Chains A and B, each alone.
Chain A
Amino acid sequence: MASGPRSIVCIKQVPKAQELQVDPVTNTLKRVGVPSEINPPDRNALEMALRIKDEHGGEVFVLTMGPPVFTASLEEALAMGCDRAFLLTDRLLGGSDTVPTAHALSETIHKIGGYALIFCGEETTDASTGHVGPGIAGHLDHAQITYCSELTYRGGTVVGKRTVEDGYEWWECPTPCVVTVNFLSNKPRPPSITGKIRVKRGGLITTWSCADVGIDPGKVGIKNSPTIVAKVDTVQLPVRKAKIFRGNPREAVAQLLAAMAADGVLPG
């Protein structure tokens, strides 16, 4: 049997949802000292890629761009069953928005080469744009299937089930292509003991700088990002004067309905 496809899964390490904090001075997300995890939808992307490997063979590489602490996420992905990991890390990349991020990841994917499938999560939980996956597809001029929940690999082509507002679409396209994977679309496998032992032995993670990949410093970083965060306001929620009822449920509900009816909130 011919060897299966090489997949490259792009992941990001994000602050845990409940730990999000803004640095009041820099207006950026506090990352230092905040517990972080693999961006949850990226786990679904890893699982989708690993299932293709379970069925067809081949290999799964995992790629991230960020500071060296992102190694923790790469190690976890390796322990889930990825074969190799790549860390693109460079101060030049700091402050990149989605345009340079897609550019830098595309260049790195191009350098790794030999792939049929590129996976990303549908979006990240810290920035929530969903722009990097299709951005990579645009940069590399590959087909794309976004919001995918199931993928069938047919050697040279794939069919992906895509979630849209009013139903599901099945898109068929040739490889290489970019697939962005729906959050909660599968049950990501936990890291295995044997996987953890493989990670411990070392040698699976390749660390590259921009120069190693050949990324033009004039294309990345905060200076070369089209967008900037000019300022961040704390949200002032409208003050609502709550009418609160408690005690015996029957009386509390009766009082509530009377109050709502008096305010014209209840229909009829």
Chain B
Amino acid sequence: MTIPKDKSEYRGVWVFLEARRGRMRDVSRQLLGVARRLAHDRGTSVAGVLPGHQVEPIAHEAIEYGADRVYLVEDPRLEPYTSRPFTKVMATLVRRYKPEIVLFGATKNGRDLGGRLHAVIETGLAADCVALVIDEDGNLDMIRPSFGGKSLAHILCRQHRPQMASARPNVFPIPPRQPGRSGEVVREEVSITDADMDTKVVKFEERRGHKGNPIEDARILVSGGYGLREPKNFVLLEELARELGGAVAASRKAVDAGWVPKDFQVGQTGRTVRPKLYIAVGISGAVQHLAGMQESEKILVINLDHKASMFEIADYGIVGDLFQVVPEMTRQLRARKSAVAVPVPM
């Protein structure tokens, strides 16, 4: 690939459509929305690339979410995901059709694939973008948090094509589905050989106790930090979360201390969340933490230290001892609920 003599040969915005056990991941839908906008600005079209086995319904769904065309590569060897055959499919199609832009979800498999692919076809790949726009020269301005979320870096890939970027789940909204939207499904042949199948997924174990990504899906998150002092104190947060119909999350310090599993970690090295309400309990507010939750609609901060930097981005705050405030809040919410359920005449 490297540097094309004529960049204008490269046209179209592509989205790698990630299927997981027969369903399209939300991040792929989100990226179709982004791709529509970029394609409009470049005067071009949107294509999805869908490698998998028995995934044709997803191709039609992708059209309803904004793809004009879906390149469908079906092969029993493309289920489940492994690195080598997926890289081969993507590299082959990129060389065949020369897209200008390729977008990936920054999921485990999206990163596994993108990282391998960009080295094989020798082009740029910007990770974890939070904004993607076309600049005045027509290049893709790939904007990502850097230095622990203290700043935003604008990454450009001026000479190499395609320009590739990944975006974290839930950074972009899912565009509205348009039933009956027209587009074409193009079946592509890519030969997958025995040599491509050196890796086998010999076992899968679903994580018990929660489905999918609970903290990314929760509308209300009660998040605990080092201020909780001991793992057993997370019970206080669980009780509050239950009262609010929310879920529990944590800061990196609480995860590093071994109090809660890494799946619950919000922040630069954890997950990005944007709930309706984020309640930060005993979290001082390191920039790495803010990077993962500052898009929350409303933020409530409970902290003993009024100088905690968490308060700087708060909509609501209580300066006080969390061991008193949190149980009190649970109690009052419970009382409020029963008061609503059974109105007591005064």
Contacts and interface: CB of A to CB of B under 8 A. Distances in A.
A166 B328 contact: no
A170 B157 CA distance: 35
B108 A165 contact: yes
B151 A22 contact: yes
A159 B316 contact: no
A128 B328 contact: no
Interface string B115-148: 1111110111111100000000000011001111
Contact of A249 (B148, B294, B320): B320
A217 to B, nearest CB: 15
B324 interface: yes
A64 to B, nearest CB: 19
Contact of A237 (B145, B311, B313): B313
Interface string B203-230: 1111100011100000010000000000
A246 B320 contact: yes
Contacts of A138: 87, 115-120
Interface string A238-268: 1011111111011011101101100101111
Interface string A23-66: 00001010000000000000000000000000000000000000
Interface in B294-346: 294, 298-301, 306, 311-321, 324-325, 328-329, 332-333, 336-337, 340
B174 interface: no
A184 B263 CA distance: 12
Contact of A169 (B154, B157, B203, B316): B203
A212 interface: no
A230 to B, nearest CB: 5
Contacts of B120: 138-139
A136 B208 CA distance: 33
A22 B146 CA distance: 9
B112 A146 contact: yes
A209 interface: no
A167 B207 contact: yes
B203 A244 contact: no
B269 interface: yes
Interface string A130-141: 111111111100
A240 B317 CA distance: 11
A210 interface: no
A246 B314 contact: no
Interface residues of A, number: 85
B173 interface: no
A244 B318 contact: yes
Contact of B199 (A27, A143, A225): A143
B155 A229 contact: yes
A99 interface: yes
Nearest to B139: A230
Contacts of B80: 169
B127 to A, nearest CB: 4
Contacts of B300: 256, 260
B206 A230 contact: no
Interface of B: 20, 80, 82-84, 87, 107-109, 111-120, 122-128, 141-142, 145-160, 198-207, 211-213, 220, 244-245, 255-256, 262, 268-269, 276-277, 286-288, 290, 294, 298-301, 306, 311-321, 324-325, 328-329, 332-333, 336-337, 340
Given A138-B115, A240-B313, 13 more contacts: A20-B147, A102-B119, A126-B147, A136-B119, A146-B108, A147-B112, A169-B201, A227-B142, A235-B152, A246-B306, A252-B325, A260-B300, A265-B315
Interface of A: 17-18, 20-22, 27, 29, 97-99, 102-103, 123, 125-139, 143-147, 159, 162-174, 182-184, 225-235, 237-238, 240-247, 249-250, 252-254, 256-257, 259-260, 263, 265-268
